[in-house]
Amino acid sequence: MKRILMLLSLCALLCHTSCESKKEEKEEQNKFLVTSPLVKDTLITKEYVSQIHAISHIEIRALEKGYLQKIFVDEGQSIKKGQMMFQIMPTMYQAELQKAQAEANFAQIEYQNTSKLASSNIVSPNELAMAKAKLNKAKAEVSLAQVHLGFTQIKAPFDGIMDHFQVRLGSLVDEGDLLTTLSDNSQMWVYFNVPEAEYLDFKTTFKNNNREKVKLQMANQQVFDYPGEVQTIEADFNNETGNIAFRATFPNPKGLLRHGETGNILMEVPMKNALLIPQKATFEVLDKKYVYVLDKKNVLRSREITIAAELPHIYVIQKGLNQNDKILLEGLRLVRENEKIQSKFVAPKAVMSQLDLYAE
C-alpha cells in the first residue's frame, strides 16, 4: 500500500514538474525579442547624381572660308596631337602667298639698290629708311599669307577622340563654322551637387584637404574600376537649389568613360556616434518608415523614423529614436498598435553580430 502511495506521489510530482516546464516553455515562446539602437562610429556611403565630362572637350571650327577638300579622320577615331583632320581648299590662299612673296622679293631688290646708292651718298638716309620699311612690310604680308594658308589645314590640338561630323566632304564652309568636336578622355571630370549641410560636414571633416577619394557608379550599376579625387568645389551656392557643385577627377586609362555620360558619385562619410538599428525592425506605411517602441508598461507604440543612410541589413537613424528606446526586433506582423506584450531583451551588439540570422 505504501509503495502504491509513493508511486502515485512520484507520478504527481513528475506530472507537475512537466506541466510547469511546458508552461515556462510556452511563456518563453510567447515572449517577443526587443533591442535598443546601437551607438557606434561608422562610415556611410552617400550617393550624388553626377555628370561626366572629358577633361578637354572643344569645338573644331573652320578658320577660313572655302570648300572642304579632304577629311583625314573618321568619327569616333582616336587621334594624336598635330594629326591632320581637315583640309580646306587652299588654292586662293596659295595664290595670295605667292603674290606676297613676289612683292617681298621686289622690295628686297629695291632695298639692296637703295642701300648701295646710300653708301655712295647718292640718296639720302631717309630714302634708305623708307626702302627698309617697305621691305619689312612686304615680309609681314608674307607671314600673314602663310598664316592664312596654314588655317586651311586643321590639325588636332591634343590627343583625343573625334565626335560626329557637322559637315561633309565638298561642303562650302564659312569662317567659324563648326566641323566637329574633340574630347580628351584620358581623365574625366565628374560634377555633382552637394546640399549645404553636407558641404559643411565635408569641410569640417576634411579641413582644407579637399582630395577625398570617391567612387563612381556607372549607369549599369557597376562601380568604375578606378577611384577619383574631389579636387574642386565651386565658389558659390545655387540659391534656387541650396546646392554647391563639387568636381572629382577620375583616371580613364581604358577609355571606358565618355563625355556626356551620367552616374552616381559614392562618397564615404564618417559618422560619429551614429544610431544603428536592424532593417528587420522597421516597417513601412505610405513610404514612411516606422518601428514599434516598447514603453515602460510593455505596450507597443509605433513611431516614425527618418533614415540618414542605409547599410547592409542596417539603417542609420537621423531622428525618431534615442539610445535608450526599446524597439521590437521581430514578429512585427504578429502584433498591433497599443498591444501589451511579454518581451525578452537582446543586447544591441549581439543583434548586430547576428544580422544575417535575424534577416532570414
Residues 287 and 198 in one domain: no
Domain end marker among 142, 162, 181: 181
Residues 267 and 346 in one domain: no
195-244 confidence digits (pLDDT tens): 998 888 788 776 655 578 899 999 999 999 999 999 889 989 988 888 99
Structure-model confidence comparison of residues 355 and 11, the more confident one:
355
Residues 199 and 101 in one domain: no
Domain end marker among 249, 272, 295: 272
Residue 1 lies inside a defined structural domain of this protein: no
Residue 281 lies inside a defined structural domain of this protein: yes
Would the pTM count as exceeding 0.75?
no
Burial class of residue 120, CB neighbours in 10 A (0-12, 13-18, 19+): exposed
Residues 144 and 193 in one domain: no
Residue 207 lies inside a defined structural domain of this protein: yes
User: What is the number of domains present in the chain?
Assistant: 3
Domain end marker among 272, 299, 329: 272
Longest dimension (CA), the chain: 168
107-163 confidence digits (pLDDT tens): 888 878 888 877 877 778 888 788 888 888 878 888 887 777 777 888 999 999 999
Residue 11 lies inside a defined structural domain of this protein: no
Residues 251 and 304 in one domain: no
- Which residues is 205 bridged to in the sheet? none
77-116 confidence digits (pLDDT tens): 999 999 999 988 876 777 777 787 888 788 888 878 888 8
Residues 107 and 205 in one domain: no
Residue 315 lies inside a defined structural domain of this protein: yes
What's the domain range around 171?
Answer: 64-181
Residue 317 lies inside a defined structural domain of this protein: yes
Q: Give the DSSP per-residue string, 106-125.
A: HHHHHHHHHHHHHHTTSS-H
Return the CATH number at 244: 2.40.30.170
Q: Are 139 and 104 in contact (CB under 8 A)?
A: yes
